[in-house]
Chain A
Amino acid sequence: AQTVTQSQPEMSVQEAETVTLSCTYDTSESDYYLFWYKQPPSRQMILVIRQEAYKQQNATENRFSVNFQKAAKSFSLKISDSQLGDAAMYFCAYWDNDMRFGAGTRLTVKP
């Protein structure tokens, strides 16, 4: 079974700065999907960004981008120009027939 590892339980960033959240995964598949979800205090799970494994180009959504290293099975999330509203739990997830989540990284944004 695939596993998703987020090695940073907590991260902190100054407002307007850039922060990178790490994620590694384990799989024997060659075609799959990777996601980052954000969970603010409201507990709503919100999709931030997704990456298809067969696409070499890193996905980008406004201030959010990923660094996808397929050979290394690494999928990090970069948040540029951090805003107070970015404070949340961030979950990395892997899809191949079902969705598995990492343990999450709690991001604090300091004003």
Chain B
Amino acid sequence: DAGVIQSPRHEVTEMGQEVTLRCKPISGHDYLFWYRQTMMRGLELLIYFNNNVPIDDSGMPEDRFSAKMPNASFSTLKIQPSEPRDSAVYFCASSLASSGSGNTIYFGEGSWLTVV
């Protein structure tokens, strides 16, 4: 399996611009997570989906952030407008929510975002 695929791997953008991060989960996985990692806050869960439906978005920092999962194989995390404090590594992860798999989450390689 190709694993969780994220794009872009690196992005540098100017403050105020729209940023869209993309994720393709592992085929067959029914949970998808978006995490943000910074030095100050560590790993934060932003939002997660189950069967394409957002279950908990309480970690989304503010209205500038939005996430969608139009189908089982694709999700986006959008920041509009972006600010320098949004600079972080954004991870997408997926899991198969069955007891047999032990709910192991598999991570993508992350999208490194720098907002200048």
- Which A residues have a C-beta under 8 Å from some C-beta of B? 33, 35, 37, 42-45, 47, 50, 52, 91, 93, 95, 97-104
Kindly state whether residue B53 has any CB partner on chain A within 8 Å. no
Residues of A within 8 A of B112 (CB): 43
Interface of B is mostly: strand
A42 to B109, CA, bound (A): 8
Q: Is B18 positioned at the interface, with any CB of A under 8 Å from its CB?
A: no
Contact A104 B42 (CB under 8 A): yes
In the complex formed, the residue of A with least CB distance to B91 is A45
> Would A103 and B105 count as touching, CB distance under 8 A?
no
Q: Which residues of chain A come closer than 8 Å to B37, judged between CB atoms?
A: 43
B110 touches A44 (CB 8 A): yes
When the two chains form their complex, are residues B104 and A47 in contact, meaning their CB atoms are under 8 A apart? Answer: yes
Residues of B within 8 A of A (CB): 33, 37, 42-43, 45, 48, 55-56, 89, 91, 93, 95, 102-107, 109-110, 112
Task: Given the known inter-chain contacts A98-B48, A99-B45, A101-B43, please indicate yes or no for A43 contacting B102, CB distance below 8 A.
Answer: no
Q: How many pairs of A and B residues are in contact by the CB < 8 Å rule? A: 46
Q: Which 4 pairs from chain A and chain B are nearest by CB?
A: A45-B107, A101-B43, A95-B103, A103-B42
Of the candidates B33, B45, B95, B110, the one whose C-beta lies within 8 Å of that of A43 is: B110
CB-CB under 8 A from B107, the residues of chain A are 37, 44-45
Docked-complex contact A99 and B105, CB < 8 angstroms: yes
In the complex, what residue of chain B is closest to A99 when comparing beta carbons? B105
Give Cα distance in the complex from A8 to B44, angstroms: 19
Contacting pair A33 B89 (CB below 8 A): no
Contacts of B43 in A (CB 8 A): 91, 101, 104
A97 to B33 CA separation, bound complex (whole angstroms) = 11
How distant is A3 from chain B, measured CB to nearest CB, in Å? 12
Instruction: Give Cα A45 to B106, complex, Å.
Output: 8
